[in-house]
Amino acid sequence: MSEETRLPSTDAPPSAEVKTEDVEMEQETMQEAQEKQPETLKRKYDDAAAKNGKSEPNGKSEANGVKLEGASTLTPVIVAPRAPQLEYIPLKTGLAYDVRMRYHAKIFTSYYEYIDPHPEDPRRIYRIYKILAEAGLINDPSLIGADDIGDLMLKIPVREATREEILQVHTPEHLDFIASTEKMDKEALLERTEKGDSVYFNHDSYMGAKLSCGGTIEACKAVVEGKVKNALAVVRPPGHHAEPNAPGGFCLFSNVAVAAKNILQNYPDSVRKIVVLDWDVHHGNGTQRAFFDDPRVLYISLHRYEQGKYYPGTTYGGADQVGEGPGAGFTVNIPWLVPGMGDGDYLYAFQKVVMPVCYEFAPDLVIISSGFDAAAGDIIGGCHVTPPGYGHMTHLMKGLARGNLCVVLEGGYNLDSISVSALAVAQTMVGEVPGELATTLPKPETIETIEEVIRIHAKYWKCLQPGHMAVALQSEKSLRLGDSLRTHQANTLFHNHQYITLPILESKFHATLEDQIVASPDIYDCQTIVISVHDPPEIWGLTDALSGTIDSINSVVVDPSQQVLEWAQARKYGVIDICVPLHCDDDYTYNPQLAGQELLLYVWDHYLQFFQASKIAFVGVGEAYSGIVHLLGHRDVRALVKASIGIVDKQPLRAIVPLIDENVTEWYFRNSLVFTSAKHPCWENANGDAIKKPRKKFGRVLKGDSVGMVDIFGERFDEGCDFILDAFEEFDSSDD
């Protein structure tokens, strides 16, 4: 018998890190297995005992001097039945809800408000409580807040927050002001409502605010103390807009901030780090303010921002707001630039930023400032997050902090939307799994926003660093990449083809434009000229996965417009190559579109007029094409210019402005071709319907099948060349 056991080639033999008793037990079974047919287990044990001789009273037998445990048939191995060692599932989900929070309401001032009440409506919390009952998560037929609400959820009694608790975040002046509303007369209440920043008051506001705040505290405490596995605080008025010294945005006291400070103070050993995730569609300025310099609380907010125009209407919610002092990096704002965000956008943000950062932070408690105003159906929020979307986000957050999660209601104004959304969250909290997402892919704007957030936060979070470490772009000793590429391009033409520069002798043009116009040496005398007007080259490259620096070995400079030069040179045409820079280092007013227009006019006025050529064709690539269209409208070029080809990827179409006479538009339409990307926006109108043909003033526009300048060029270039040859009345094919 061969000694060698065939094991996987590179692996060492396993060491016997097993208890000897188990080995012996198994030896017996394996010997049995080798020598007999399969039998019942009982008979095996019988035979083993018989074969191996005497049994000992404790069940051990000896066989060949090797002890066997459990070989006796009378006392098999027993594992005493145990209560399951479970920490999480035996607990219920806490629920904080109290009808007394329904009395804070806006005093009606017109009949209109009966039809169209204020969005921060007392019914919000009632409707959520009601749907939990309808779904059987709680058992409370009267819906007034019974004490025993069933097997899944546990009622958390809501109490008023104390003065001391509130003063951990707010100023005494603010607290006293809110307290004073309890006794104000009606005119004063209405005046304060009018003058406040989207707040209202009645005689129940102070109590409601104290209850909302205290309910949040009690919900968090119940989670931290292990009384419940997680908790849902269905409270109003909301809290995340309330600043230390002012109410705002329907918020009076900053519920989540007060609760977080309370937990950090009272449970210093079990809770040292808290994540506050704010998925309310508005930025939680109050919460951010409370912890802006506090590294113990990581505040993450996803919200509509739109350059600070969306409520609260300041730049405090911008991605550049990262915290200050010791809290730098512990505020993460994810600001949406456009409305209409859906499941895919939130999922993308979670995958790229929220979850990696939270895992790295490793919190002891997670609090979700859960506004449901990003839900589908909420007109104020204008977004499309579905109940499964909220379910998935809850499921992901539940994996952190050993499931210590407290979800606190903030905003959300469509009563049906907030109900189904809150139900999905509650179901996930009690242990259900989330449903199917509507979309899993983000908008392009989301991808760019997330990229910006990652760039900003890469210096604070290791998980965001791969590929983003090389961030110092403002070194004085550095050189703009675009400049060095154009210079090299021009130098190659000088050396290899004896090109000359056509200098620009007007001072209004910036010095950056010096090398931008080069021409073949025969340009003054040749009969036919092709003029290539283009953007700077693209660079396709690989970035180092760790540092993000660009791998100059594996990066290439891609400039499809060079094909124009090669084609024209092969046909012995004169060539002018004009590169219009997309930016200018020293001049922030530089506009590439205007620069291109001025360049083309200059070339026409000072050069083309004086050349011998009788036929000219333009080929415009990218943004630079706008300069050609401008020229064709502002000068009477029709005697000389036979064709104009434009190739655009994402750049907008340019309309000819017929200053010369009204026939120019028709002439332009007949003598031009403009090829666009397959996804160019000109092929769809505002409603999303397809447009067959853009208007003539844009030239003859054709839709390509490709995306990306290189591919569009590759697909259409020959067609453009044939068009030019046709216009030049040279009927050869362009297959050189």
5-44 binders of a copy of itself (CB under 8 A): 5-18, 22-23, 26-27, 29-30, 32-34, 37-38, 41
Residue closer to a copy of itself by CB (options 115, 505) is 115
CB burial of 657-694 (b: ≥16 within 10 Å; e: otherwise) equals ebeeeeebbebbbebbbbbbbeebebbeeeeeeeeeeb
Binding mask 328-347 for a copy of itself (x = CB under 8 A): -------------------x
Read off the amino acid at residue 410: E
Which residues lie across from 63 on neighbouring strands?
Answer: 66
Q: How far is the CB of 672 from a copy of itself (least distance, A)?
A: 25
241 is catalytic: yes
> Which of 265, 549, 612, 685: binder of a copy of itself (CB under 8 A)?
549
Binding flag, residue 414, a copy of itself (CB under 8 A): yes
Q: Give the DSSP letter of residue 4.
A: -
Please tell me the total number of residues recorded for the chain in this structure. 736
> Which of 50, 56, 89, 726: binder of a copy of itself (CB under 8 A)?
89
- The CA–CA distances, whole Å, from 556 to 49, 272, 539, 567 equal 77, 50, 6, 22
**Tokens matching residue 285:** 């300025």
Residue closer to a copy of itself by CB (options 35, 689) is 35
> Which of 53, 76, 157, 172: binder of a copy of itself (CB under 8 A)?
76
Q: Give the DSSP letter of residue 511.
A: G
Residue closer to a copy of itself by CB (options 633, 720) is 720
Closest C-alpha among 600, 601, 606 to residue 619: 600
Q: Residues in contact with a copy of itself, total (CB under 8 A)?
A: 190
Residue closer to a copy of itself by CB (options 346, 602) is 346
Residue closer to a copy of itself by CB (options 195, 692) is 195
- In the block, tokens 């806490």 appear at 94
Considering only residues 659 through 718, tell me which ones interact with a copy of itself, judged by CB under 8 A. 708, 710
Residue closer to a copy of itself by CB (options 266, 543) is 543
Is the CB of residue 62 less than 8 Å from the CB of residue 54? yes
Considering only residues 136 through 165, tell me which ones interact with a copy of itself, judged by CB under 8 A. 136-137, 139-144, 150, 152
> Which of 82, 589, 692, 733: binder of a copy of itself (CB under 8 A)?
82
Q: How far is the CB of 239 from a copy of itself (least distance, A)?
A: 16
> Which of 73, 96, 97, 119: binder of a copy of itself (CB under 8 A)?
119
Q: Which stretch binds a copy of itself (CB under 8 A): 217-225, 291-299, 486-494, 521-529?
A: 486-494
- CB atoms near residue 391 (< 10 Å): 24
Q: How far is the CB of 551 from a copy of itself (least distance, A)?
A: 8
Binding flag, residue 327, a copy of itself (CB under 8 A): no
CB burial of 278-288 (b: ≥16 within 10 Å; e: otherwise) equals bbbbbbbbbbb
Q: How far is the CB of 588 from a copy of itself (least distance, A)?
A: 12
> Which of 266, 527, 562, 569: binder of a copy of itself (CB under 8 A)?
562
Binding flag, residue 719, a copy of itself (CB under 8 A): no
Cis preceding linkage at 312, omega within 30:
yes
Residue closer to a copy of itself by CB (options 585, 684) is 585
DSSP 320-384: T----GGGTTSEEEEEESSS--BHHHHHHHIIIIIHHHHHHH--SEEEEEE--TTBTT-TTT--B
What does the CA dihedral 419, 420, 426, 430 come to, rounded to 10 degrees?
140
Q: How far is the CB of 132 from a copy of itself (least distance, A)?
A: 10
Residue closer to a copy of itself by CB (options 381, 633) is 381
* Non-local CB neighbours of 698 within 8 Å, separated by 6+ positions: 653, 654, 655, 656, 674, 682
> Which of 54, 57, 74, 84: binder of a copy of itself (CB under 8 A)?
84
- In the block, tokens 């919610």 appear at 317
Q: How far is the CB of 168 from a copy of itself (least distance, A)?
A: 26
Q: Which stretch binds a copy of itself (CB under 8 A): 545-553, 619-627, 638-646, 670-678?
A: 545-553
3-state SS class at 692: coil
Considering only residues 240 through 279, tell me which ones interact with a copy of itself, judged by CB under 8 A. 249
Residue closer to a copy of itself by CB (options 239, 694) is 239
Helices (H), 546-681: 562-570, 592-606, 625-634, 664-670
Residue closer to a copy of itself by CB (options 8, 325) is 8
Catalytic residue among 170, 241, 534, 634: 241
Considering only residues 212 through 241, tell me which ones interact with a copy of itself, judged by CB under 8 A. none
Phi, psi of 543 (to 5 degrees): -105, 150
> Which of 100, 159, 296, 679: binder of a copy of itself (CB under 8 A)?
100
Binding flag, residue 108, a copy of itself (CB under 8 A): yes
Closest C-alpha among 290, 253, 261, 259 to residue 96: 259
> Which of 555, 609, 614, 663: binder of a copy of itself (CB under 8 A)?
555
The number of C-alpha atoms within 13 Å of 544 and in the hemisphere containing its C-beta is: 12
Cis preceding linkage at 244, omega within 30:
no
Q: Which stretch binds a copy of itself (CB under 8 A): 1-9, 289-297, 622-630, 696-704?
A: 1-9
> Which of 174, 392, 634, 680: binder of a copy of itself (CB under 8 A)?
392
> Which of 47, 62, 121, 514: binder of a copy of itself (CB under 8 A)?
121
**Tokens matching residue 322:** 């990262």
**Tokens matching residue 381:** 């929020």
Binding flag, residue 479, a copy of itself (CB under 8 A): yes
Residue closer to a copy of itself by CB (options 362, 511) is 362
Q: How far is the CB of 525 from a copy of itself (least distance, A)?
A: 29
> Which of 54, 57, 58, 86: binder of a copy of itself (CB under 8 A)?
86
Burial tier of 351 (Cβ tally within 10 Å: 0-12, 13-18, 19+): middle
Residue closer to a copy of itself by CB (options 123, 696) is 123
Query: Which helix H or strand E contains 618, and what residues bound it?
Result: strand 615-621
What is the C-alpha separation between 455 and 27, in angstroms, rounded? 60
How large is the angle between the packed helices 709-727 and 562-570, nearest 10 degrees? 30
Considering only residues 283 through 322, tell me which ones interact with a copy of itself, judged by CB under 8 A. 309-311, 313
Binding flag, residue 639, a copy of itself (CB under 8 A): no
Considering only residues 49 through 68, tell me which ones interact with a copy of itself, judged by CB under 8 A. none
Burial tier of 650 (Cβ tally within 10 Å: 0-12, 13-18, 19+): middle
Give the CA angle between residues 409, 412, 415 to the nearest 5°: 105
> Which of 54, 57, 74, 78: binder of a copy of itself (CB under 8 A)?
78
Closest C-alpha among 269, 262, 268 to residue 221: 262
Binding flag, residue 431, a copy of itself (CB under 8 A): yes
Binding flag, residue 179, a copy of itself (CB under 8 A): no
Which residues lie across from 659 on neighbouring strands?
Answer: none
Q: How far is the CB of 600 from a copy of itself (least distance, A)?
A: 21
> Which of 67, 159, 203, 606: binder of a copy of itself (CB under 8 A)?
203
> Which of 207, 337, 500, 678: binder of a copy of itself (CB under 8 A)?
207
CB burial of 323-340 (b: ≥16 within 10 Å; e: otherwise) equals beeebebbbbbbbbbeee
> Which of 355, 500, 660, 678: binder of a copy of itself (CB under 8 A)?
355
Q: How far is the CB of 662 from a copy of itself (least distance, A)?
A: 39
Q: Give the DSSP letter of residue 433.
A: -
Considering only residues 586 through 615, tell me which ones interact with a copy of itself, judged by CB under 8 A. none
User: Could you give the residue numbers annotated as active site?
Assistant: 241
